[in-house]
Amino acid sequence: MFWKELSEFLQHFFSKAGAGDMKPFTILSVAVLSFIALGHLLRMLFGWEAIINGVHIPLWASAIAVVFFGGLAYMLWRESHPRK
């Protein structure tokens, strides 16, 4: 039930943003990848530390992640909107 409601919400949200014919999985993928990129961007802007299993992750790793995940989200978005 939750996933269906989430899918309908995302379809409604993205239909207003120009994603009328996107499939639910594509919409969800673009949203998740965008949120990951946004999280890394916020980490860079606010200088938040990331420590995984005692290892400090440098901020430049977030810069790479922003480009990577943001690029994937953008490419997936463009793939679902072929140019006419």
Sign of the torsion angle spanned by Cα atoms 11, 38, 66, 49: negative
Q: How far is CA 33 from the centre of its chain?
A: 2
What is the per-residue pLDDT for 12?
67
Structure tokens, 7: 């899918």
Per residue in 6-54, pLDDT (tens digit) is 677 666 666 655 555 678 888 889 999 999 999 999 999 999 999 999 9
For 22, 24, 34, 37, 55, the CA distances from 29, given in Å and listed in that order, are 11, 9, 8, 12, 29
- Least confident stretch, 1-10, 39-48, 67-76: 1-10
Q: Are 22 and 11 in contact (CB under 8 A)?
A: yes
Q: Are 73 and 22 in contact (CB under 8 A)?
A: no
What average pLDDT does range 58-75 have in this prediction?
96
Report which DSSP code applies to 49: -
What is the per-residue pLDDT for 21?
67
